[in-house]
């Protein structure tokens, strides 16, 4: 995640660091997200509403509203948290990117995407979000933008930046991002079959992720001969 001190404009520098009360609120918000995420890990297929998950936490409705604006805001914040966790390995200066660094970052990203514990939490979260979006379509759109859409946009931007930095990549970055997610065998949507959820069954292990990324890179990187032929 970007360091806030690197994004402040000169006119806002005087407001940094934040007030202690702001820090406490931020820490409390993060702690609440972790508590709900832990509850999601133990959620069963019958938990189709976020309230059923919250019931297994110490959080009150009033505190959720105070921190997130609404229960729907909590769901969106969870999606954003998981998405940013997956994308974190792709951070960095694209101008410093080499073929080896490009591959290393994609492997780290892939391992986070297929992490069995995280996959179980995401399945539960998407199950809840799908049920809630039927009742409130606007929530579904917001959830997608902050969850699956965030991950796809971040991965696409990483691939586009790598091309701009000089890596020879063939294909549209958005299509490449979609192809990689398919190779990692995760839909970033509600799975049709929850059998084996959280057990790691059918989920690529660390070595298989490395092989998947190697296959992906071999398929998308143009050789010098390809570049010469295109001129």
Q: How many CA atoms does the CB half-sphere of 30 hold within 13 Å?
A: 7
pLDDT at residue number 41: 85
Domain of 117, in residue numbers = 18-230
Rounded distance between C-alpha atoms, residue 139 and residue 67, angstroms: 17
- 209 falls within a domain: yes
Domain presence at residue 101: yes
Q: Please state the domain count of the chain.
A: 1
Q: Examine residue 170 and state whether it is found in any structural domain, yes or no.
A: yes
Residue-level pLDDT at 89: 94
Q: Is residue 3 part of a domain?
A: no
| pLDDT at residue 208 in the model | 86
**DSSP single-letter state for residue 4:** G
Residues 58 and 186: their CA atoms lie apart, in Å, by 31
d(CA 217, CA 106): 9
Helices and strands per DSSP (H, E), number in the chain? 11, 0
- Asked whether residue 12 is assigned to any structural domain, the reply reads no
Q: Is residue 171 part of a domain?
A: yes
pLDDT for position 204: 62
Q: What is the pLDDT of residue 20?
A: 56
pLDDT of residue 227: 39
Polymer length in residues for the chain? 231
| Whether the Cβ atoms of residue 149 and residue 86 lie closer than 8 Å to each other | no
Q: What is the pLDDT of residue 86?
A: 93
Find out whether 216 and 106 touch, Cβ atoms under 8 Å. Answer: yes
Kindly tell me the burial class for residue 24, based on how many C-beta atoms sit within 10 Å of its own C-beta (0-12, 13-18, 19 or more): exposed
The per-residue pLDDT for 167 is 86
Q: Look up the CATH number of the domain holding residue 210.
A: 1.10.357.10
Question: How does pLDDT run across 42-51, given as a tens digit for each residue?
Answer: 776 666 788 8
What is the reported pLDDT for 222? Answer: 61
Q: Is 127 domain-assigned?
A: yes
Instruction: Please check whether residue 2 lies inside any domain of the structure.
Output: no
b/e map of 59-80 (b: 16 or more CB within 10 Å)?
beeeebeebbeebbebbbbbbb
Segments of the chain with pLDDT less than 50: 1-18, 187-200, 224-231
Q: What are the phi and psi torsion angles at 139 (to 5°)?
A: -65, -40
């Amino acid at each position: 995640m970007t360091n806030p001190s690197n994004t402040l404009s000169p006119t806002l520098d005087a407001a940094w660091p934040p007030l202690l009360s702001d820090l406490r609120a931020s820490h409390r918000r993060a702690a609440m997200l972790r508590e709900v995420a832990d509850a999601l890990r133990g959620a069963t297929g019958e938990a189709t509403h976020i309230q059923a998950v919250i019931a297994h936490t110490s959080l009150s409705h009033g505190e959720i509203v105070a921190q997130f604006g609404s229960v729907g805001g909590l769901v969106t914040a969870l999606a954003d948290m998981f998405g940013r966790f997956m994308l974190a390995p792709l951070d960095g200066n694209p101008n410093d990117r080499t073929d080896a660094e490009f591959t290393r970052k994609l492997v780290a990203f892939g391992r986070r995407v297929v992490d069995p514990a995280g996959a179980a939490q995401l399945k539960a979260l998407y199950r809840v979000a799908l049920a809630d979006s039927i009742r409130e379509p606007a929530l579904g759109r917001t959830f997608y933008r902050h969850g699956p859409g965030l991950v796809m946009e971040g991965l696409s931007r990483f691939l586009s930046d790598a091309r701009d930095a000089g890596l020879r990549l063939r294909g549209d970055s958005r299509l490449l991002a979609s192809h990689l997610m398919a190779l990692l065998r995760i839909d970033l949507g509600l799975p049709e079959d929850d059998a084996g959820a959280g057990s790691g069954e059918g989920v690529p292990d660390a070595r298989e992720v490395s092989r998947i990324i190697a296959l992906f890179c071999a398929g998308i990187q143009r050789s010098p001969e390809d570049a010469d032929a295109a001129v």
